[in-house]
């Protein structure tokens, strides 16, 4: 294979579906990758699985597969297209069963392989420290999930047994994209420079539309055409890992040096040491060259030996957040909202609502970054939020905001309130050997 074509079909669980279908149909792709797991997604999915043993995978798995599977496999006159995704979330085995069912329903003979082994919930040493300073044992019944960030190994094995669709749980995001490059070009697991380059391709693609003009527009400064029909990106990669980023001709959005530079640095700390389970990638000397409209060449990625330990993301229940909001408008809106804020805080104190932390702010004035401007807005919205150990206490926060209707300053409107359970995430490191990856065909 001279040039490998890898597309990005999702940047998060709830992402748009049509751009992925556009890529599957018109992208002339070898691989379409869906990255759908944010830090906390697996912990939430694990809660679903507890109440439904056949659930716990991505809620949009079925719809995505219905739409793209007709283009997957060996079809006359087209490249063979395969799908790799972490939409298995907390239950890759059940997700694979669902994808096999959909393929059969569509009359397609596709091989669907699950990668498992990331779930280490029952293998954690109780005395192990989390990055928040607590031990695993201290979480007790509140511990709900623990998933190791796997690298390319399981996906490589699935591709070797000729999978058309590979379904994983937690895998490091760039590894989903690095695996097909290693498989197609036969890169060794210690070919650090090529692995570093392939990891950069994955890093640039993993958030889908964020490199092709999404999350970029700033009218008058950075303009982007047709965001409503944003095209998702694809990479053309050669056997040495040299690559360029582009998208389907005619799709919305824009790929430029600037869009690539923003995504290069996104969620990176030290650019010379971007850690994944497969390699320590070095992005510090990376540059971009615009070869043509929406075609940007990547230069200068490198890599060094991979880390010895694997990161594990641990999900645990951490109480409840109760919240209420109310709007004020017209002359004196800010003064009335400030009075409303004082009233609610006083009430929460008088009623003895048990809160661990409370926050009261005026949206439009100081909610995002503290007060930075003295310009008085026409409208402002009070927001009060508190974290409580008990749900019954959290409920009272929103209720107190709502009672501003008949008890607070004049002219409050549009009250809203909600309560949600806090699923917190912490992390720890495990030796590689204690994580056993396998595939299920």
Partner 1 sequence: MKLHMLAHSRTGDKGDTSNISIIAYRAEDYPLLCEQLTAERVAEFFAGLRELDAPPVRRYELPSVQGLNFVLPGILRGGVTRSLALDAHGKCLGSALLDLDLITPT
Which positions touch partner 1 (CB under 8 A)? 39-40, 131, 215-216, 218, 221-222, 257-258, 260-272, 283-288, 299-300, 318, 321, 357-359, 361, 363, 367-370, 372, 383, 385-387, 422-425, 427
Taking a C-beta distance cutoff of 8 angstroms, is the pair 45, 91 a contact? Answer: yes
Q: How many Å apart are CA 394 and CA 243, to the nearest integer?
A: 51
Q: What is the largest CA-CA distance in the chain?
A: 74
CA distances from 122 to 30, 137, 146, 438 (A): 37, 12, 8, 17
Distance between alpha carbon 378 and the CA centroid of its chain, in Å? 36
Which residues does 183 contact at the CB level (< 8 Å), separation at least 6? 155, 156, 159, 160
- Residue among 79 and 295 whose Cβ is closer to partner 1: 295
Shortest Å, Cβ 21 to partner 1: 27
Q: Dig out the tokens for 353 from the structure.
A: 């609502």
Q: How many Å apart are CA 144 and CA 44, to the nearest integer?
A: 9
Taking a C-beta distance cutoff of 8 angstroms, is the pair 381, 326 a contact? Answer: yes
Taking a C-beta distance cutoff of 8 angstroms, is the pair 416, 404 a contact? Answer: no
Q: Dig out the tokens for 75 from the structure.
A: 């079809």
Shortest Å, Cβ 108 to partner 1: 38
Shortest Å, Cβ 270 to partner 1: 6
Q: Dig out the tokens for 440 from the structure.
A: 């299920």
- Residue among 194 and 381 whose Cβ is closer to partner 1: 381
- Residue among 278 and 361 whose Cβ is closer to partner 1: 361
- Residue among 271 and 377 whose Cβ is closer to partner 1: 271
Percent composition of the chain: helix, strand, coil (DSSP 3-state, to 5): 30, 30, 40
Shortest Å, Cβ 316 to partner 1: 9
Shortest Å, Cβ 377 to partner 1: 16
Shortest Å, Cβ 259 to partner 1: 10
Q: How many Å apart are CA 154 and CA 375, to the nearest integer?
A: 56
- Residue among 191 and 318 whose Cβ is closer to partner 1: 318
- Residue among 164 and 173 whose Cβ is closer to partner 1: 173
Residue appearing with tokens 């094995």: 157
Which residues does 109 contact at the CB level (< 8 Å), separation at least 6? 73, 103
Shortest Å, Cβ 422 to partner 1: 6
Shortest Å, Cβ 136 to partner 1: 17
- Residue among 227 and 358 whose Cβ is closer to partner 1: 358
């Amino acid at each position: 294979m001279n040039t490998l074509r890898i597309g990005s079909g999702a940047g998060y669980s709830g992402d748009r579906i049509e751009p992925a279908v556009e890529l599957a149909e018109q992208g002339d792709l070898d691989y379409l990758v869906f990255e759908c797991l944010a830090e906390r997604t697996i912990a939430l999915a694990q809660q679903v699985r507890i109440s439904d043993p056949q659930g716990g995978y991505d809620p949009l798995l079925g719809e995505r597969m219905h739409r793209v599977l007709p283009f997957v496999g060996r079809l006359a006159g087209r490249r063979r297209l395969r799908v790799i995704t972490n939409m298995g979330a907390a239950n890759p085995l059940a997700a694979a069963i669902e994808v096999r069912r959909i393929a059969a329903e569509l009359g397609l003979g596709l091989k669907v392989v699950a990668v498992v082994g990331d779930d280490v919930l029952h293998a954690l040493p109780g005395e192990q420290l989390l990055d928040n300073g607590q031990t695993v044992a201290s979480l007790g019944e509140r511990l709900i999930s623990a998933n190791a960030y796997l690298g390319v190994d399981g996906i490589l094995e699935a591709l070797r047994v000729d999978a058309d669709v590979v379904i994983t749980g937690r895998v490091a995001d760039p590894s989903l994209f690095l695996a097909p490059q290693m498989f197609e070009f036969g890169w060794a697991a210690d070919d650090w420079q090529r692995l570093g380059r392939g990891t950069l391709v994955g890093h640039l693609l993993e958030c889908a539309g964020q490199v092709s003009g999404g999350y970029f527009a700033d009218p008058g400064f950075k303009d982007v055409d047709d965001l409503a029909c944003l095209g998702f990106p694809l990479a053309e990669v050669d056997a040495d890992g040299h690559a360029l980023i582009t998208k389907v001709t005619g799709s919305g959005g824009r790929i430029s040096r600037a869009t690539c530079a923003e995504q290069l640095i996104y969620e990176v700390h030290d650019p010379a040491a971007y850690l994944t389970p497969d390699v320590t990638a070095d992005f510090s000397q990376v540059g971009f060259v615009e070869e043509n409209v929406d075609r940007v060449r990547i230069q200068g990625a490198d890599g060094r030996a991979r880390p010895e330990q694997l990161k594990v993301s641990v999900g645990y229940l951490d109480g409840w957040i109760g919240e209420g909001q109310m709007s004020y408008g017209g002359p004196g809106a800010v003064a009335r909202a400030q009075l409303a804020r004082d009233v609610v805080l006083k009430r929460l104190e008088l009623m003895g609502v048990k809160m661990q932390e409370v926050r009261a702010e005026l949206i439009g004035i100081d909610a995002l970054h503290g007060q930075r401007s003295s310009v008085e807005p026409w409208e402002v919205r009070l927001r009060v939020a508190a974290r409580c150990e008990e749900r019954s206490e959290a409920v009272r926060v929103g209720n107190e905001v709502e009672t501003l209707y008949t008890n607070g300053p004049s002219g409050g409107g549009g009250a809203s309130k909600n309560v949600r359970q806090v699923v917190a995430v912490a992390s720890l490191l495990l030796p590689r050997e204690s994580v056993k990856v396998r595939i299920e065909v």
